[in-house]
Structure 1
Amino acid sequence: MKFSRATFWALVILIPFSFGFITSVTDNFFEISKNLDIFGHLYREINSTYVEDTDPEQLMRTGIDAMLQSLDPYTNFISEGEAEDLRFLSTGQYAGVGAVVGRQGDRILIMEPYRGYPADEAGLQAGDEIVGIDGKPVSGADMEVGEVRDRLRGKVGTDLSLTIRQADGTLREVALTRARIKVDNVPYYGMVDEHVGYVKLTGFTQDAGQELEKAIRDLRQEQPDLQGLVLDLRNNPGGRLDEAVRIANTFIPQGEVIVETHGRMDASHRVHRAQRAAVEETLPLVVLINQGSASASEIVAGAIQDLDRGVIVGRRSFGKGLVQNIRPLIYNTQVKVTTAKYYTPSGRCIQAINYAERHRDGSVHRIPDSLRTSFLTRNGRTVFDGGGIEPDVEVAVPEWPAAVEALDVKGLIFDFATRFVNSHPQPADARTFALAEEDYEAFLAFVASKPFSYETQADRELQELKKTVAEEAYSDLLTEELTALEAQLAREKSQDLNRHKELIVRLLEREIARRYFYMPGEIQADFDEDPELNEALRLLRSPERYREILAGR
């Protein structure tokens, strides 16, 4: 087996960066040199003597990934073949057909075509199954979604052919030409009511700040008497730091500190200020966050909160206060490495997990509330570090019941929406679209025709009770009671789809609206039933309460 010199030297370059070699050469040189020498000898020995043939590249990648995983989940090695994914995360652009693909059982499906791009223009729809690419079969049983996605991507202007199985079972050949795809950071903006605007921000890739500024200016043009704005950062995982600063600057005046970063290297100590005049410096603002709001989203929400520029509504954010930079390595490889922590204007770091302090088994833990430090906003309100951004107004959103979760996971809501749009005309608009009673009955019949089952907490506890009864030799005494209880539970579960009808109808309406009107339709369909958005509207319609919250009263 030949020794892979390229992969060995990739690790030689990678390890210095991971252990802070740049900043402490003299202190760590001996330990680094010794351990590299040990690793090199070990690697050669394994490749030459292990009982089975080894894949040197895969072996090295496993070692690299394990090493970086011991630091934190965000420090990652990026091979030459993964560079396109990195560019997409940074720019929001890639070359392909413009469709989200996913797995459902053994099927690889079009989950969402992007409006105006090749897949959409060719008539591909959500729910179409990809069964072939360029004459080669595709099967969810044998292929990962990432492999299918990679085959759909390629150079701009190149052609490919898809074999599609439509919802009715018809096979269709579709010829496509790859194009440059740009995924918008702002998929929707509009007026929620006569005086309040709404902007959905889903990413922080290149030009996110420009997209937000354009959205706000368009809302101003549509409604000169704009009296409030909702910026929705829910489930936004973050992205570029410079775009986060620009987005915060949209509402924060020039010269104000938005975020600071501090790390081991001198270059990591930076103060990021608002560089230009704010687009909307005084417009009442509510920012929506939840547990899926992370990183750049938390920079924006933290700056808005600390400077008392707006009110944060929703649920506590994720708690990612770490900054990553991309460092080039050799052979067109790179490393995304955590270089600093960021601090909001009040001086707090909202990182929720301390990866430097691990349990004996290697696991990590969230910083307990008892160890969190308090800080003050511009107006003297108390905020805390170490656990994400806590909203000024918390909105409790209950978890989905087991039956609803199962409907979603098994794709039954998705599949029924596919069937629905193929048999119903497009409604007038997404916001007023409502599922008819007969349509819900059709959904129940559709679910009944499928092998649908799920386990509740009551199921698990009943099984545990039966096990305990058997272990303690009470089975003969309690058999009838347990059987009756099991039957009663089954009867109650049979009513779950009616018991949770309101939530299920809401999810169906969102999915169906998305098929007709793309992502903007999904957002608009939920306007009137969204508890966090409705709380934001109540707040913006009550100027006195809005001012009291920011004043800390």
Structure 2
Amino acid sequence: MRIKLNPTKKYLLGILLVGGSLLSFTKPGDRFFEIAKNLDIYATVFKELSTYYVDEVDPKKSIETSIEALLKSFDPYTVYYPENEIDEFLQMTTGKYQGIGIILSEINQSQRISFIEENSPAHLAGLGIGDQIVRINGTLLSDSPETDPAILMKGSAGSTVQLEVLQVGQSIPKPFAIKRETVQIKNVVNAAIVRPGIGYILLEDFNASATKEVKTALIELKKQGMQKLILDLRNNPGGLLTQAIDICNLFIPKGAKIVETRGKVEEWNKSYQALNQAIDTETPMVVLINNRTASAAEIVAGVLQDYDRAVIMGQKSFGKGLVQVTRDLPYRTKMKITTAKYYIPSGRCIQALDYKNKNADGTAKAFQDSAAKVFYTQNGRKVVDGGGILPDQLIQKKPLSAFAQALLAKDMLFLFASEFHGAHSNIARAESFAVDADILEQFNAWLAKSHFSYEAPVENQVKKLLEQTRDQAEYAEFQQLLHSQTTHWKTNLTRELKLHAMEITPLLEQEMIMHYYWQKGLNTWSTRKDPSILSAIDLLGKPTKFATLLSRQEKP
């Protein structure tokens, strides 16, 4: 009896004999024949390399490299997780990891603590932001630049990691033995009443506990008298689709459509509705987004916009309208693969890049604004697809100057804050601290003594101009003229700092507060001085303008 194979079984059988003869049911031109043929070629190439290449071939490293290159050719979100990276994958989805509660960053050619979880094992042991990790379990990091400190820090809860730490303000490293624990990464990192009657929730992630944390924050803020809400999704990279759906359900009524996924595997296509009673469908809301608001965070912003449930404020979001699922692979490996696009209630997909049709250099093409389709919210307001969520009220964000970018790129603000913290045990409380003229002067003096190098755009342009006119007859005279005006165009750090003081001051304030008061202090600073939060507070104080933004009827 002849057995009819479904496409999946046919494909699996077709690759079982890779490296050997091809199955008889495939034929040239058939898709599955091409798959089997090319896998056979690949296996033979690897066999030849392994046998004859002049140096020993590491099969694990070689195969992982080829898999990564393969997946990278599709999109940045289709990713392979080898066995040694499964913990990282689980951390992203569950929000839990086993460690001591710090983030290490390479700063000034050393490994420094750039973030510390309050009440974590590291914090309780006395470590702080800016501290330099010198050794981990006996390994001297300066002698092992190829070693990933994160791997050395790994270990099961209950085990101990041995550290040698040069703390800020100290000259001799100190040993620490810190017991690892299971650390829960918070999704809601700030929930507070920021003005009378106005609540604020900062949601930074969408791991498995996101909905629970937002719901808890909402209930608590209502108890404290919240009558209006700011939901901050800026810089939120997204996460689990299920959490985005459930968070939307907190604000829209049961039965309302939230999101639909459409892909090649039809049986995986699904429409998701709000399954539970909402917590709050009436409280006026502002949702803050920016160009780093992505994926699940864009679903929440887009759904609330489509139902006219909130005013979206800020900058255009990132534009990730793709859905990934995780597939288990052999030997405890996994693959996250893009399987569908998602569509929010108005019918739009906000994907900004077309990974199927790429530019000549291999980069994905951006969907053109001219090709954007018009959709409508529940109240008939126009919205468009193909490039992120466009806010109802834009907040123009001035790009950082070249000087500020250089300071941040070389971690100069971080390094100054660390040194300042080492020399001064206290600063004013987070709710009142401000970088004044005296601190700016100290920063200026410190910068002059540091190894910071910077060339102002005007100096760069003058040098280019001199180079371009070198072969001209007037060059000598021109050169003499420019050199006589050196003080006007030659980079001067004191002048640059004075020129950009308004821009540098808040950046330095944030860095110093983070060193002294961690995330909690930074939250306090933000609700006092962050321009976007202040704009949201201002809008919520103008009910007529707020209502007008949500009620414009544009649908024909």
Q: Taking structure 2 as the reference length, what is the TM-score of the superposition?
A: 0.91
- Contact 2:357 2:364 (8 Å CA) reproduced: yes
> Separation in 2 of the partners of 1:180 and 1:238?
22
Do the aligned partners of residues 408 and 241 (structure 1) sit closer, same or farther apart at CA in structure 2, a change above 3 Å counting?
same
**Is 1:401 the counterpart of 2:404 in the alignment?**
no
**CA contact under 8 A between 1:431 and 1:527: conserved in structure 2?**
no
Residues 34-83 of structure 1, C-alpha deviation per residue, up to 9 Å, x if partnerless? 11111111111122122333222222112111111111111011100010
Query: What secondary structure, in the 3-state scheme, does the structure 2 residue paired with 1:116 have?
Result: coil
Aligned residues: 529
Counterpart of 1:68, as a letter, is L
Who is 1:194 aligned against? 196
Q: Please give the alpha-carbon distance, in whole angstroms, between the structure 2 residues aligned to 1:72 and 1:140.
A: 36
Task: Check whether the contact 2:79–2:335 (CA below 8 A) recurs between aligned residues.
Answer: yes
What is the aligned partner in structure 2 of residue 236 from structure 1? 236
Moved more, 482-491 or 150-159: 482-491
**Deviation per CA, 1:175-212, whole angstroms, max 9, x where unpaired?**
11111011100111111111111110000001100101
Residue 174 of structure 2 aligns to a residue whose secondary structure is strand
Relative to structure 1, is the Cα distance of residues 479 and 12 closer, same or farther in structure 2, using a 3 angstrom cutoff? farther
Distance in 2 between the 1:202 and 1:488 partners?
44
- Match of 2:366, SS? coil
Q: State the one-letter code of the partner of 1:299.
A: I
Comparing 27-36 and 119-128, the one that deviates more: 27-36
Q: Determine if contact 1:107/1:140 at 8 Å carries over to the other structure.
A: no
1:286–1:311 Cα contact (<8 Å) kept? yes
TM-aligned CA deviation for residue 353 of structure 1: 0.3
Could you tell me whether the CA contact under 8 Å between 2:444 and 2:494 is conserved in 1?
no
Mapped partners of 1:522, 1:140: distance in 2: 35
1:292–1:317 contact (8 Å) kept in structure 2 = yes
Code of the aligned partner of 1:496: E
Q: 1:487-536 CA deviation, whole Å, 9 max, x = no partner? A: 41126654111122222221222122222322121122132332211111
SS at match of 2:397: coil
Give the letter aligned to residue 292 of structure 1: R
**Paired letter, 2:187:** N
Aligned-residue offset at 1:408: 1.8
Structure 2 distance, partners of 1:253, 1:27, is 49
CA distance in structure 1 between the partners assigned to 2:15 and 2:164 by the alignment: 45
1:159-198 pair list within 5 angstroms: 159-167=160-168, 168-198=170-200
- Aligned mate of 2:88, from 85, 89, 107: 85
Confirm or deny: 8 A CA contact 1:199 1:215 kept in the other structure. yes
Q: Deviations over 1:16-42 (max 9, x none)?
A: xxxxxxxxxx96321111111111111
- Residue from 124, 139, 144 that aligns with 2:142: 139
Deviates more, 1:51-60 or 1:116-125: 51-60
Name the counterpart of 2:8: none
Could you tell me which runs of 5 or more consecutive residues in structure 1 were left unpaired when the two chains were aligned: 1-8, 16-25
**Aligned counterparts of 2:473 and 2:488: Cα–Cα separation in 1:** 23
Look up the SS of the partner of 2:336 in the other structure: strand
- Indicate if the aligned counterparts of 2:165 and 2:175 stay in contact, CA closer than 8 A: yes
Indicate conservation of the 8 Å contact 1:108/1:139, yes or no. no
Aligned twin of 1:255: 255
In structure 2, distance between residues paired with 1:490 and 1:523: 39
Report percent identity of matched pairs.
36
Moved more, 165-174 or 207-216: 165-174
In structure 2, what is the equivalent of residue 513 of structure 1? 513
Q: 2:441 aligns to what?
A: 441
Contact 1:402 1:454 in 2 (8 A): no
**Equivalences for residues 338-353 of structure 1 within 5 A:** 338-353=338-353
1:287-298, aligned counterparts within 5 Å? 287-298=287-298
2: CA distance, partners of 1:440 / 1:140: 36
Amino acid aligned to 1:149: A
Aligned to 1:122: 125
In structure 2, give the amino acid aligned to 1:164: V
2:53 is the counterpart of 1:50: yes
For 1:473 and 1:94, locate their aligned partners in 2 and report how far apart those are by CA, in whole Å: 68
Q: Is the 8 A contact 2:459 2:491 kept in 1?
A: no
| Other-structure match for 2:152 | 151
Q: SS in structure 2 opposite 1:354?
A: strand
Displacement of 1:485 after TM fit? 4.7
Kindly report which structure 2 residues correspond to 1:308-347, keeping only aligned pairs within 5 A, or say none: 308-347=308-347
1:410 is matched with 410
**Structure 2 residue aligned with 1:355:** 355
- Does 2:200 align with 1:205? no
Q: CA, structure 1 residues 358+525, in 2 after alignment: closer, same or farther (shift >3 Å)? A: same
Tell me, yes or no, if the aligned pair for 1:90 and 1:239 is still in contact at 8 Å. Answer: yes
Answer whether contact 1:245 1:300 (CA < 8 A) is retained.
yes
Moved more, 390-399 or 456-465: 456-465
* CA distance 1:525–1:12, shift in 2 (3 Å): farther
Is the 8 Å Cα contact of residues 105 and 140 (structure 1) preserved in structure 2? no
Question: Matches of 2:420 and 2:153 in 1, distance apart?
Answer: 28
Alpha-carbon shift at residue 140 of structure 1 (Å): 8.3
Task: For 1:235 and 1:140, locate their aligned partners in 2 and report how far apart those are by CA, in whole Å.
Answer: 35
> How does the TM-score come out when normalised to structure 1?
0.92
Task: Output one character per residue of 1:251-277: Cα deviation in whole Å (capped at 9) or x when no partner.
Answer: 111111111110001233111111111
SS in 2 for 1:101: strand
Amino acid at match of 1:218: E
Separation in 2, partners of 1:169, 1:105:
17
- How does 1:383-532 map onto structure 2 within 5 Å? 383-426=383-426, 429-490=429-490, 494-532=494-532
Q: Which string of whole-angstrom CA distances, capped at 9 and with x for unpartnered residues, describes residues 237-291 of structure 1? A: 0000000111111111111111111000123311111111111111000000001
Contact 2:137 2:152 (C-alpha < 8 Å) held by counterparts: no
Cα pair 2:95 2:186 within 8 Å, conserved:
yes
CA distance in 1, matches of 2:348, 2:356: 18
Partner Cα distance (1:197, 1:317) in 2: 23
| CA positional deviation for 1:142 | 1.4
Pairwise CA RMSD:
2.0
Name the structure 2 match of 1:60: 63
Match of 2:219 among 217, 220, 244: 217
Amino acid at match of 2:160: D
Unaligned runs of 5+ in 2: 1-11, 19-28
The alignment status of 1:28 with 2:28, answered yes or no, reads: no
The DSSP-based 3-state class of the residue aligned with 2:277 is coil
Deviation of 1:150 (Å): 1.5
The alpha carbon displacement at 1:401 in A equals 1.2
Deviation at 1:426, TM superposition (A): 4.1
Aligned partners of 1:262 and 1:341 also within 8 Å: yes
Contact 2:407 2:413 in 1 (8 A): yes
**2: CA distance between counterparts of 1:140 and 1:386?**
49
Q: State the partner residue of 1:20.
A: none
Amino acid in the other structure paired with 1:111: S
